[in-house]
Amino acid sequence: MDTLTHVLFGTVCTLAISRNRSTPARELPMRLAVAGTAAAFPDIDYLGFWIDPLLFLADWHRTATHSLLLMPFWAGLLTLPWMFSPWARREWLGVYALCVLGIGSQILLDLLTVFGVRLFYPLSSSLYAVGTSFVIDWIVTALLAATLLYGLHRPQRNVALSGLVLLSLYLGAQWGLRHHAHDRIAERLPEESNLQLLPQPFSPFYWQAINRTGNGYEVAYLSLLADGEAVVNHYRGADSLVWRKAGLLGDDNPSAALVEEAWRQPGLLKFREFARFPILYRLDRERDETCVWFTDLRYTLPYLTPAFRYGMCRQQEADWLLYRLKRFSQNERQRLSPVD
């Protein structure tokens, strides 16, 4: 999830374990600062994006800084800067525990997204993802913010614990809504369908449905609250879903051989490893240059330009070169160096 939500979650968890009678009021801001900083720390891996965007996605993001195995090391490293404070030197073990709490709180929230976390890096590169929450969830953020503000006004453990209980109920409801959405759609599809449901922004009642077919995917956008078209365009009730086809090659695509040639290029290896539902984004032909662009259905919304678009370009019969289309742009691109 976003860094603000991680900081809020880390501080609310700290309030929940702080004992009011034994914790002087002047120490509480320090405790919150330690946990909040630690909760934001794992996202420092975003610096890798500026070094190599594709390696960041495929190999670096949510790996070392999100690993349970490396968490004790990171917590120790984060404890050191606080040693300037006499309180922190006196309570160094408590400061270390707060750093562990903060890092752990981020890992927990990130597990809920479709991107997932490599929990046991570097021993394992397996990606663990619950996939019930969108990467930005305004309900989670608002609930945590309200809990923190009220908890600071009335610094009681019960306030923070109540907020965490409400958060747990909401996250549990997301899990239940996904299963309900899956059942609503699956009963309208053939039994052999391979259906996946991905969370969407705005509401836990909105879901992206991806049905894997023999040569691609069928994609639809579901609203559990609507019969026909929902408040947000493109989302519809289960009985009126509009399915569109998407895939790498498409049906009867005269450029299928060209697209497959670009997709199999060694320079695109890391994107192939990253993408779970890869599709052809578009094919550009301009003068003597051809570009074939790909994206991943996990990060496509019906009303926004996809964030992750990578492809191969070449001049006439020259070698293919690796590029990315920059976020929020249609044609602005960046040349990337392929990984050997």
pLDDT of residue 208: 96
> Which stretch of 53-62, 194-203, 247-256 has the lowest confidence by average pLDDT?
247-256
288, 239: one domain: no
The torsion of the CA quartet 117, 122, 123, 124, rounded to 10 degrees, works out to 30
Choice between 287 and 13, residue whose per-residue pLDDT is larger: 13
What confidence tier does 66 reach under pLDDT thresholds 50, 70, 90? very high
pLDDT higher than threshold 60 for residue 302: yes
- Answer yes or no: is 340 within a domain: no
Instruction: For residues 194 and 71, state if they share a domain.
Output: no
Domain limits for position 216: 188-246
In a domain, 84, yes or no: yes
308 band by pLDDT with thresholds 50, 70 and 90 = very high
pLDDT, tens digit (0-9, with 9 covering 90-100), for 243-255:
999 998 866 678 8
**Is 118 among the domain residues?**
yes
**Does the pLDDT at position 25 exceed 80?**
no
- Indicate if 145 and 215 belong to the same structural domain: no
pLDDT above 80 for 22? no
Share above pLDDT 70 across residues of the chain, in percent, rounded to a whole number:
96
Higher pLDDT, 55 or 250: 55
- Per residue, what are the HEC states of 15-81? HHHCCCCCCCHHHHHHHHHHHHHHHHHHHHHHHHHHHCHHHHHHHHCCCHHHCCCCHHHHHHHHHHH
Instruction: Answer whether residue 251 is part of any domain.
Output: no
Mean pLDDT, residues 186-203: 88
Please check whether residues 325 and 234 belong to one and the same domain.
Answer: no
Same structural domain, 60 and 25: yes
Residue 135's beta-bridge partner residues?
Answer: none
Could you give the C-alpha distances from 32 to 23, 38, 41, 157, 168, in angstroms and in order?
12, 10, 14, 14, 21
Query: How does pLDDT run across 310-324, given as a tens digit for each residue?
Result: 999 999 888 999 999
Q: Are 119 and 68 in contact (CB under 8 A)?
A: yes
pLDDT at 154: 75
Q: Which of 37, 33, 9, 1 is nearest to 145 (CA)?
A: 9
Does 221 have pLDDT greater than 90?
Answer: yes
198: pLDDT confidence band, cut at 50, 70 and 90? very high
pLDDT of residue 254: 81
Six-digit token pair at 201? 């922004």
Q: Tell me if the pTM is above 0.85.
A: yes
Count of the separate structural domains present in the chain: 3
Residues 318, 193: one domain?
Answer: no
Instruction: Report whether 174 contacts 204 (CB < 8 A).
Output: yes
* pLDDT above 80: residue 49: yes
Report the pLDDT averaged over residues 19-40: 81
Residue 230 lies in a domain: yes
Interval 130-159: pLDDT, tens: 999 999 999 999 999 999 999 888 767 889
Residue 286: pLDDT band (50, 70, 90) is confident
Which pLDDT does position 326 carry in this prediction? 93
- Alpha carbon 252 to its chain centroid, in Å, reads 34
Closest CA to 301 of 203, 199, 171: 199
Phi, then psi, of 110 in degrees rounded to 5: -70, -25
Kind and range of the H or E element at 312? Answer: strand 310-315
Name the residue among 171, 53, 70 with its Cα closest to residue 111.
171
